[in-house]
Structure 1
Amino acid sequence: MKIAVAGKGGTGKTLVAGGLAYLLARAGYTTLAIDADSAPNLGFLLGLSSRDEGAIVPVSKNEALIAAKTGTAYPGVYSLNFTVDDVVLKYAVPTPAGVHLLVMGTVASMGAGCTCPANSVIRALLRHLIVDRDEAVVLDMEAGVEHLGRGTAEGVDMMLVISDANRQSLAIAGRIARLAQDAGIPHIALIGNRIVDAGQEQVLRGFAKDRELVVTGMIPFDPAVVRAGIDGNSIATLEGSAALCAIGGILSRIDQEIKERLNGRVDTEKHS
């Protein structure tokens, strides 16, 4: 299962990504969380201390790793022929949530044709993680799809776009959905977060209907999430909370949809 999560900063994108990763690991999946946000903080939610989080060197800033993968004997010339299957083993960090974390860091836009060494390593690494490996992967993204090349995007089982009922959040959610469609992500869904009442839910459902987006779930406003943020507590402390229960329901629906797609594919192959 490969799930990408995107949305405007402050809408709860990292909460959803961390909750999904935590619940997948708790269900027995070998789970890798990828923090591809320019302000990475997924590690805190997964239970890492400030010291451990601060010690992580993002892949895009790991000069030794980039040089080892792309370096040549010629100044200004770098190799495009390298493997990345060892990166997870060496650089993914185990967390108290039972999830391994890999921090990507900030890179220039993939869609702009940048061929710098760091971008080349991250592009190859993401493709390897999403297309080639079998474990569950949850990708906490920025408000866009810049980290995903087209072939990689097509390997994502689901792109979840997170938004609250705020007009600015919805505008960015619409932009993300368009970018995801253009990138070739086949399945895109809207998640409403911090929903206070039926009126806010109606706003989000109307937005989704206008843009022909599936709504996979609504997460209620939850004081327990606010308290966890203030106290610096991990996702594990939200067991039994309304928000984490809602994220669990979202995960169940995604799992069911993926299984139905696979069954449909098998049936089609049997009759072809």
Structure 2
Amino acid sequence: MSDNQNLLAEQRRALILDEVRRRGGVRVNELTRRLNVSDMTVRRDLDALARQGVIEKVHGGAVPLVEASTHEPGFEAKSALEQGAKEDISRAAARMAAPGSAIALSGGTTTYALAQHLLDVPDLTVVTNSVRVADVFHTAQGTGSGGAPRAGAATVVLTGGVRTPSDSLVGPVADQAIRSLHFDVLFLGVHGISVEAGVSTPNLAEAETNRQFIRSARRVVVVADHTKWGTVGLSSFARLDEIDTLVTDGGLPDEARAEMAEHLPGLVVAGEDDTV
């Protein structure tokens, strides 16, 4: 980890969380040396991460929080995690959306970040089951002369459905809407990804809605930061060979990259030149 004293709290906490997950636990005195900050600062960071539900504080340090496969964090809790990685992933994934194409974005904080990078792609038709994603386009849409929509602004279709903790709309109403449509590219956020379980979510209804998205898409692009690797939710909704491309970040370990390369047609590591 960096010993830069001027790290922002958000960056510092991301580094701490990565170290906790990578090593299975850390001690406060180790973090103070590595980050070159005070004991009090580290303890405040651990308190903040514990409130987000991603670590468990123990005497003298912290360990990863082992979540049930049915646990689904809220949107705000997830949006605070791995923000730098999500930005890198979003920039790389946005290049896969061609002007004038029909795309779909599932729910999730990474697809929410991606939506903001898609605002400059003209004449998109966007289908989404994410209230947050739809709001990004609605807020940015603006109007041209006479109150008409801004030239080149996206046409957005928001599915109906039952709202989840992550502000996605799922269930039979969403499934029926998606089933009747066809997309050039689907950008799919996931709770977890592994060789054995494929891509998964803790929400059974969301799993079925995601299956409908996949069936309606010509190309499936999963956007997921490195912390999703090895996580398994209650319900799998696609095998790895049903995904065309995974866009992730440079934190993905080498062994995971090798495994992914064996099972996925395309692996894009955002911020790096190589595409496997």
Bin the TM-score by the shorter chain: 0.3 to 0.5
Give the TM-score taking structure 1 as reference length.
0.39
Give the TM-score taking structure 2 as reference length.
0.38
Q: Highest relative contact order (Cα 8 Å, sep 6+), 1 or 2?
A: 1
